[in-house]
Structure 1
Amino acid sequence: MLGNNLPSKADVVKMYQTYGITGMRIYNPDSATLTALKGTNINLIMDLPNSDLASIASSSSAATTWVNNNVKPYYPGVSFKYIAVGNEVSGSAVSNILPAMKNIYSALSSAGLQNSIKVSTSVSTGVLGTSYPPSAGAFSSDASSYMTSVVQYLATINSPLLANVYPYFSYAGNTAQISLDYALFTSAGTVVTDGSNKYQNLFDALVDALYSAMEKVGGSNVGIVISESGWPSAGGTGTTASNAQKYNQNLINHVGKGTPKRSTPLETYIFAMFNENQKPAGVEQNWGLFYPNKQPVYSISFK
């Protein structure tokens, strides 16, 4: 939504329906979007924004108010699937993640919605201190201080971890050692062998490193939902419409198979719907599948 030239919320929801896109993520409760989503059966990740974390973490009544204002008026017309309590939270604010998740879960429970709407938080692969090989995946010492309790809580409430997984950034930051084919799902054969698991793409390797990290802290039964992945079409290393099309189409075609470590299909959300002109110049403005005039940046099938 970080653009001053984007279509109306109602028009955007109609685009989702036209293209057969069955999931959406919004980064804060937006009444116009929620109203437009009613009756569409589009699965929704809705964020509790980082700016609200401290107040929700410190007050169960604030959490109840948040759910009463932003969830209950729209349920069940809106197909809420996950509440992401914070997105890539960093610094001292990480101590608020778990108490805020617990307060939101309690507020949903009071409304009888705890079995219908899952509570989680969205993290980047930056929480990993070790990611290679995937079986050695482990949280960094900093991240482990809060991720251990978060993962164990997700296990108790039967919720997945939401993860933002971007092979693009790994590739762009290390083109000497990571091939474009490995990042784009176009490698001809195995690139990394890790025990009995063979990896042809970087996406699977990153996801499996996260699975390994969770297993090491008591999260063997915790799943992963890919809450963001994508490839920019301009503004940086390896950014062309062709590469973005390859990555996102291959991602769509691939995630139903799961990963070498876990064959469970991966529910996946592509970032982003539109190019956003109010983001910093460069790659940040060019993640969109569509231009603000609703024309596709490149052709893609969501089926």
Structure 2
Amino acid sequence: MTSSSMLVVLFFSFQLVVPYVAAQSVGVCYGMLGDNLPSRPEAVQLIQSVGFNKVRLYGPDGDALNALRNTGIEVNVDVANDDLQRMANDASFASSWISSNIQPYLPDVSFKYITVGNEVIPGDAAQYVLPAMKNMVNALGSVGLRDQIKVSTSVSMGVIGVSYPPSQGSFSDQAAPIMGPIVQFLAGTGAPLMVNVYPYFSYVGNRQAIQLDYGLFTANRVVVTDPNNGLAYTNLFDAMVDSVYSAMERAGAAGVPIQVSESGWPSAGGDPTVTTIGNAQTYNQNLVRHAAQGTPKRPGPMEIFVFALFNEDQKSAGIEQNWGLFYPNKQPVYPIGVN
């Protein structure tokens, strides 16, 4: 087979029919912790071949941003956790960050979000998140970008103290003093809360109570009915997301939407009956389709970023190296796509 024929086969193998609204709502996380990954332009070509129109970058990588010029792909770019303290304490640092990492790529790159910190709440750096977010919003406003680019932070489900039933969701005692003011700030700026949602970890941590099909979106029955509002849940993902919505309601920020800034399923490295290529494909393809539906508490399209683009060999051995849709040689781990 010629190389051009192989590319055609690869391209069409990824074009699965899902609702167009799902395609508009789904992106991919592009991590770069590998010493054998394709070039940035090649990675962007793969993102386009699958049909993703959004990408999350874990830092303002110049080569990646140049490769994203004039693609129409919406970009969610992170401020590194190591920069939070300085950004919180020095407003001029937020301004210089924008002048170095955002403005040189405008208008060719379609920035949509700046994520100030990833999974630092609760923790020692949590105190810096909101002041850094405020300085970033003000810095964007000073150059006329406040309405164009929204500022948020990405949290793990570790911020939730009570998650069951979903209507009783609340922030943990450790996270609540930080999360309350943050979600109220987001309500004022019109930005979503970004949440990394991993049913895989909930399942492997509590197999006695959680069935695999509930984690993979394949249960053909109602598994949980919330006794407080009657909402029916057929998958764990919805229950987890709705518990965060309930927590925000309790914190006085009922109107804040959730963006799922990471979700996925590992294809290897753990229990071989769970971390299989088949389970990873099933979860992620169902996740893509689910973006058009939303949750029982908040039906309708929701933004979801699949984790991750590549298997990354510089991460910890085991499951951490096996979340990718692609191997470093650009071959798919399994076919998945949006159209």
TM-score by length of 2: 0.88
Distance of 2:50 and 2:177 partners within structure 1: 42
Amino acid at match of 1:27: Y
Which residue of structure 2 aligns with residue 14 of structure 1? 45
Q: Distance in 1 between matches of 2:304 and 2:232?
A: 22
> Which of 81, 102, 110 is the aligned partner of 2:142?
110
1:254 partner letter: H
The separation in 2 between residues aligned to 1:281 and 1:124, in whole angstroms, is 21
Structure 1 equivalent of residue 28 of structure 2:
none
Question: What letter corresponds to residue 328 of structure 2 in structure 1?
Answer: P
Matched residue SS, 1:92: coil
Partner of 2:87: 56
Give the paired residue count.
303
Equivalent residue, structure 2, for 1:181:
213
Return the letter of the residue paired with 2:337. S
Deviations 1:25-58 (A, max 9, x none): 1101100001111101101110001010000000
Are 2:287 and 1:251 equivalent residues in the alignment? yes
Q: Secondary structure at the match of 1:63?
A: helix
User: Residue 270 of structure 2 corresponds to which residue in structure 1?
Assistant: 236
Query: How far apart, in 2, do the equivalents of 1:113 and 1:275 lie?
Result: 34
The one-character-per-residue Cα deviations of 1:72-96 (angstroms, maximum 9, x if unpaired) are 1112211111100000014221000
Partner in structure 1 of residue 117 of structure 2: 86
CA contact (8 A) 2:50 2:336 kept: no
| Superposition map of 1:129-278 within 5 A | 129-194=161-226, 195-237=229-271, 238-278=274-314
1:293 counterpart residue number? 329
For residue 243 of structure 1, give the secondary structure of its aligned residue in structure 2.
helix
Name which structure has the greater RCO, CA cutoff 8 Å, separation 6+.
2
Provide the C-alpha distance between the structure 2 equivalents of 1:264 and 1:215, rounded to a whole number of angstroms. 18
Matched AA of 2:235: N
Letter aligned with residue 160 of structure 1? P
Structure 1 residue runs of 5 or longer lacking an equivalent are none
How far residue 211 of structure 1 moved from its aligned partner, in angstroms, is 0.3
RMSD of Structure 2 on Structure 1 (CA): 0.7
Measured in 2, the distance between the counterparts of 1:162 and 1:52 equals: 19
Deviates more, 1:270-279 or 1:13-22: 13-22
Distance 1:17 1:179 in 2: 34
CA offset digits 1:88-130 (Å, max 9, x no partner):
0142210000000000001100010000000000001110000
Please give the residue correspondences for 1:21-32 in structure 2 after superposition, counting only pairs within 5 Å.
21-32=52-63
Percent identical residues: 57
Cα separation, 2, equivalents of 1:36 and 1:111:
24
Residue 177 (structure 1) shift? 1.0
Greater displacement, 67-76 / 127-136: 67-76
Runs of 5+ unmatched residues, structure 2: 1-31
Cα deviation code 1:51-74 (max 9, x no counterpart):
100000000001100011000111
2:98 alignment partner in structure 1: 67
**Aligned counterparts of 2:81 and 2:257: Cα–Cα separation in 1:** 23
Question: Structure 1 residue 302: deviation in Å?
Answer: 1.9
Structure 1 length-normalised TM: 0.99
**How far apart in 1 are the matches of 2:116 and 2:177?**
18
* 2:175 match: secondary structure: helix
> How far apart are the structure 2 equivalents of 1:260 and 1:206?
11
2:270 is paired with a residue of what secondary structure?
coil
Q: Which runs of 4+ in 1 moved over 3 A?
A: none
**In 2, Cα distance between the equivalents of 1:51 and 1:10?**
27
1: CA distance, partners of 2:151 / 2:300? 20
Matched position secondary structure for 2:253:
coil
